[in-house]
């Protein structure tokens, strides 16, 4: 029997041991051993301490309860041939095993609280006091959760003892039912009185040390935090309840000593419950209804002020720089040219259409996938350009033959990326590709020297490198090119014993028996970058959108934004998950080739990141140590910007009266996309008002709640020393500035645009409306919307028109420059350097009459498009291009504008 139990334990324990040991190898590979060891040590100590205390306490109480002989033991008939079962003796025998099992369960339940313990030990003060009790915020974030958990454990333990003791004493006859009351023996009464008094004392401590501070998280009034009723009614009631609980504990002890536990206990517990009911239930409700509600604003004004200040501080809204902006209605061509960097980087390509186009043009093989498209900026050929790029990752699920060798030894990595400027298209309406093909080639100053992607967003499976099988690198025509892994990533396979552990870890016997895997082979696992950083830094939360960067040496690096968070910031507004404080405190860089991981502290003043840095010394690096070529690509993260923008719609109002009435509340306008309604939030390169140079910003407009006109716009700055700064431009409330919804309606009402869209729809093509872009120029606003066309049954959207709106004017043209020319006259900027096959957003410099030059340039493009259609045998398109060329020639001759289609 013992042998069977030992084998069963081994079968269940061996996989856990395997996972633990292979995790240790992985943490050692990335240099984060301290995270593994300290988490494991803290978990183990919690398990041992809580388990031991629970087992000892339970067994000691059961031993005390079962001392001495039982005059009338409870005997149970089991069967005619089996001796009667002495229940009291059986209980005595199972006391120790039961205590050990319950201790084991308690230890397992306590182990996940390792992070609370480490934060308590290594806590860092916030340097900010709460407005009610004048305690440092660090007490609520670090100390209070640990104190609450400890008291909850002790209370659970005393309740558990009572639950076990009562039936034991009942079976032994020390508790008897003698109507109208229970009879409890003197020894049993003293024991139960001691345990019950301990529970009441723990309740008093919890009320005084935990429940009182927790009032600062109340949601009683029109805010999060202690309200008038909480501080004037509930706070005195909690303190009175604590005093009554201490008195009740003393009364219970006296009753136990006098042998009258039932009577004294009933009075003590009943009195405490009456105080709780009246003081913490009835009294606060009466005060709220008859004192606070009739004059709520007057009563709650100080606490509203606390709530607003705490929310702004907790969410970083207190540092938002406010600028007043008087909208200028006289935007001229000179203003457009003065903001050429903004115009040259207007984002005409949206992520979803571009992702589909990349997939059709650049996946090359079925087993490559583009997962997402990211915004970024680079200095390209001496110009600051906004680009969209997407890594080409390997998707093992799409391999033509899915075998162990193919999935884990041969096809091990993705290859390169595709990069396109946001504002250029070919004459066919397709994106211009700066970096493309396999192996990646570039026609600009960017170069990719190490394109292999072993770690990415799709790489969920493990891979072996350095095996006897050749690694597929990329296809070249009908041939395949192979390469060997030269990086330092991965865990060495080594001995047969290590092979066995790896085979158990990954559930594949092929690892154990494969002749292709040798001792010097390395296994790469936890290759999904989100899984990788979450495992390495389990105490951080990560942004939903990691992005890839081309470093100065041509290597590929992933950057992930990491957050510290807590749900314990007093008085601060909470999210749906309870979060009341968040900071983007770290930037995590993962090498796409070798998986090396570095964590840079981006907010060194954050007490949470400082606490974790003390808990795990050596894993965080100052932001100043990040290479300059990577630091040039850090950006304000999406998740926290969305949260801050949403909160700022309300919390820009700092006066309690305004906040209470919501008289100036804003909202974020939403637009339509293929995935549903999305907020108008965009990365753009632009020159902010009062600034000299264009910069990469994350921008969101605001409209008044329930209205469509523009009220303000918020930007998060990303470049250089300005990184991380938030600035809001407030528009005058006395002037009307059209908002995105109003502009969208004006576009839909334009007859020329509606006619052209209807014509495309009648031909069976699908018109895709791009995002409406809000482009601040000086003290004015331009709205730009690209229109894409996708043939029926096709999968490649083509950019066909650009709509530009300014004030009451709406125009549509084939290029942005053409639309700006029609609005303001003349060309918007310098000719693009993309080559003759490119229709750039910035047309040629005017030579003589600006309108004449624009018409000639458009005619030339039509002629080239017609020739390409002729060569491709696309006669329908050829006829359309010739027809439009004729219209342009008529315009040159007659001086009239061509009809929009």
pLDDT tens column, 806-824: 888 899 998 888 888 888 8
810 phi-psi bin (left φ>0, alpha ψ -120 to 50, beta other): beta
Q: Average pLDDT in the 156-174 region?
A: 90
Q: Which of 399, 409, 629 is nearest to 511 (CA)?
A: 409
- Note the pLDDT tens digit of each residue in 354-392: 998 999 889 888 899 999 999 999 999 999 999 999 999
pLDDT of residue 552: 94
Tokens coding 326? 């008087």
Average pLDDT taken over every residue of the chain: 88
* Residue 837 clears pLDDT 60, i.e. is over it: no
| Per-residue pLDDT band at 708 (split at 50, 70, 90) | confident
Q: Average pLDDT in the 823-828 region?
A: 68
If one counts every other C-beta atom within 10 angstroms of the C-beta of residue 169, the result is 21
| Cα 337 from Cα 781, distance rounded (Å) | 15
* Residue 202 clears pLDDT 60, i.e. is over it: yes
- Note the pLDDT tens digit of each residue in 64-98: 988 877 666 666 766 666 666 667 888 888 899 99
Lowest mean pLDDT among 75-89, 529-543, 845-859: 845-859
pLDDT of residue 876: 62
- Note the pLDDT tens digit of each residue in 227-252: 999 999 999 999 999 999 999 999 99
pLDDT of residue 300: 93
Tokens coding 720? 């250089």
DSSP code of 1?
A: -
* Residue 413 clears pLDDT 80, i.e. is over it: yes
- In our burial notation (b when 16+ CB lie closer than 10 A, e otherwise), range 123-135 reads bbebeeebbbeee
| Cα 705 from Cα 712, distance rounded (Å) | 12
For residue 23, give the H/E element and its range.
helix 2-30
* Residue 428 clears pLDDT 90, i.e. is over it: no
pLDDT of residue 892: 63
Pairwise pLDDT comparison (156 vs 7), residue with the higher score: 156
State phi, psi for 542 to the nearest 5 degrees: -125, 150
Q: Could you tell me the pTM of the whole model? A: 0.86
| Cα 257 from Cα 192, distance rounded (Å) | 11
* Residue 435 clears pLDDT 80, i.e. is over it: yes
Q: Which of 448, 383, 445, 462 is nearest to 416 (CA)?
A: 448
| Per-residue pLDDT band at 8 (split at 50, 70, 90) | low
- Note the pLDDT tens digit of each residue in 666-682: 999 887 655 555 678 88
| Cα 531 from Cα 525, distance rounded (Å) | 10
- In this structure, are residues 511 and 401 in contact, taking their beta carbons and an 8 Å threshold? no
Q: How many CA atoms lie within 13 A of 335 on its CB side?
A: 17
pLDDT of residue 129: 97
| Cα 732 from Cα 736, distance rounded (Å) | 8
Tokens coding 616? 């795990």
In degrees, rounded to 5, the angle at the alpha carbon of residue 886 between the alpha carbons of residues 883 and 888 is 115
| Per-residue pLDDT band at 181 (split at 50, 70, 90) | low
Q: How many CA atoms lie within 13 A of 605 on its CB side?
A: 4
* Residue 314 clears pLDDT 70, i.e. is over it: yes
Strand 85-86 to strand 75-76: parallel, antiparallel, or no bridges (unpaired)?
antiparallel
| Cα 869 from Cα 876, distance rounded (Å) | 8
Q: Average pLDDT in the 534-556 region?
A: 96
| Cα 195 from Cα 216, distance rounded (Å) | 32
DSSP notation for 70-105 = -SS--EE--BTTBPPEEHHHHHHHHHHHHHHHHHHH
pLDDT of residue 633: 96
pLDDT of residue 20: 94
* Residue 894 clears pLDDT 60, i.e. is over it: no
* Residue 107 clears pLDDT 70, i.e. is over it: yes
């Amino acid at each position: 029997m013992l042998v069977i139990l030992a084998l069963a334990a081994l079968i269940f324990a061996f996989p856990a041991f395997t996972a633990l040991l292979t995790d240790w190898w992985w943490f050692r590979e990335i240099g984060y051993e301290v995270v593994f060891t300290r988490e494991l040590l803290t978990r183990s100590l919690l398990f041992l301490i809580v388990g031991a205390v629970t087992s000892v306490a339970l067994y000691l109480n059961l031993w005390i309860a079962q001392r001495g002989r039982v005059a009338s033991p409870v005997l149970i008939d089991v069967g005619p041939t089996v001796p009667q079962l002495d229940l009291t003796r059986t209980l005595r025998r199972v006391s120790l095993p039961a205590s050990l099992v319950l201790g084991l369960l308690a230890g397992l339940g306590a182990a996940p609280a390792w992070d609370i313990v480490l934060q308590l030990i290594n806590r860092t003060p916030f340097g900010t006091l709460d407005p009610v009790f004048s305690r440092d915020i660090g007490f609520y974030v670090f100390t209070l959760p640990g104190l609450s958990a400890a008291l909850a454990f002790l209370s659970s333990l005393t309740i558990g003892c009572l639950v076990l003791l009562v039936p034991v004493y009942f079976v032994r006859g020390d508790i008897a039912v003698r109507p109208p009351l229970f009879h409890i023996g003197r020894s049993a009464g003293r024991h139960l009185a001691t345990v019950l008094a301990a529970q009441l004392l723990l309740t008093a401590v919890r009320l005084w040390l935990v429940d009182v501070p927790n009032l600062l998280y109340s949601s009683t009034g029109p805010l999060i935090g202690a309200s008038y009723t909480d501080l004037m009614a509930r706070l005195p009631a909690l303190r009175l309840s604590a005093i009554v609980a201490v008195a009740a504990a003393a009364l219970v002890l006296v009753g136990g000593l006098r042998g009258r536990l039932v009577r004294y206990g009933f009075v003590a517990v009943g009195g405490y419950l009456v105080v709780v009911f009246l003081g913490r239930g009835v009294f606060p409700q009466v005060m709220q209804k008859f004192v606070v509600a009739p004059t709520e604003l007057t009563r709650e004004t100080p606490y509203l002020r606390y709530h607003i200040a705490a929310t702004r501080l907790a969410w970083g809204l207190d540092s938002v720089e406010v600028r007043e902006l008087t909208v200028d209605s006289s935007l001229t061509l000179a203003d457009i040219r003065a903001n050429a960097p903004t115009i040259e980087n207007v984002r005409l390509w949206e992520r979803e259409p571009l992702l589909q186009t990349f997939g059709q043009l650049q996946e090359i093989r079925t087993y490559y996938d583009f997962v997402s498209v990211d915004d970024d900026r680079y200095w390209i050929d001496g110009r600051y350009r906004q680009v969209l790029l997407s890594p080409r990752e390997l998707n093992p699920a799409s391999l033509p033959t899915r075998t162990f060798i193919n999935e884990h030894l041969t096809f091990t990595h993705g290859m390169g990326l595709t990069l396109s400027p946001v504002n250029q298209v070919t004459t066919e309406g397709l994106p211009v590709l700066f970096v493309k093909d396999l192996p990646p080639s570039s026609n600009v100053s960017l170069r990719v020297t190490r394109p292999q992607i072993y770690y990415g967003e799709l790489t969920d499976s493990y891979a072996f490198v350095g095996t006897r099988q050749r690694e597929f690198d990329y296809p070249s025509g009908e041939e395949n090119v192979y390469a060997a892994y030269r990086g330092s990533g991965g865990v060495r396979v080594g001995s047969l014993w290590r092979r066995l552990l790896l085979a158990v870890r990954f559930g594949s016997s092929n690892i154990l028996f494969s002749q292709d895997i040798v001792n010097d082979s390395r296994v790469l696992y936890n290759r999904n970058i989100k899984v990788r950083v979450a495992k390495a830094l389990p105490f951080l939360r990560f942004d939903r959108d990691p992005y890839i960067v081309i470093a100065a040496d041509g290597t590929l690096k992933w950057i992930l934004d990491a957050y510290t968070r807590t749900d314990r910031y007093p008085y601060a507004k909470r999210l749906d998950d309870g979060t009341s404080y968040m900071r983007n405190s770290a930037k995590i860089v993962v090498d796409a080739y070798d998986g090396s991981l570095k964590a840079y502290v981006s907010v060194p003043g954050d007490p949470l990141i400082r606490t974790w840095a003390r808990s795990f010394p050596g894993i965080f690096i100052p932001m100043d140590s990040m290479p300059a070529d990577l630091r040039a690509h850090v950006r304000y993260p999406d998740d926290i910007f969305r949260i801050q923008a949403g909160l700022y719609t309300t919390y820009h109002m700092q006066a309690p009266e305004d906040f209470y009435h919501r008289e100036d509340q804003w909202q974020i306008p939403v637009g339509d996309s293929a995935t549903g309604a999305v907020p108008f939030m965009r990365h753009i390169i632009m020159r902010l008002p009062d600034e000299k140079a264009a910069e990469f910003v994350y921008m969101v407009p605001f409209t008044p709640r329930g209205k469509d006109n523009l009220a303000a716009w918020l930007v998060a700055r990303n470049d250089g020393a300005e990184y991380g700064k938030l600035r809001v431009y407030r528009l005058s409330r006395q002037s009307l500035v059209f908002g995105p919804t109003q502009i969208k309606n004006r576009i839909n009402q334009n007859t020329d645009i509606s006619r052209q869209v209807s014509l495309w729809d009648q031909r069976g093509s699908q018109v895709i409306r791009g995002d409406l872009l809000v482009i601040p120029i000086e003290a004015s606003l331009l709205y730009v919307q690209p229109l894409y066309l996708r043939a029926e049954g096709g999968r490649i959207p083509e950019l066909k028109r650009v709509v530009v709106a300014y004030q009451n004017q709406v125009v549509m043209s084939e290029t942005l420059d053409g639309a700006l020319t029609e609005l303001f006259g003349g060309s918007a900027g310098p000719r693009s350097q993309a080559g003759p096959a490119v229709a750039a957003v910035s047309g040629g410099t005017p030579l003589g009459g600006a309108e004449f030059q624009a018409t000639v340039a458009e005619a030339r493009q039509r002629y080239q498009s017609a020739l390409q259609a002729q060569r491709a045998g696309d006669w329908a398109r050829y006829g359309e291009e010739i027809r439009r060329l004729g219209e342009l020639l008529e315009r040159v001759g007659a001086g009239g504008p061509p009809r929009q289609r």
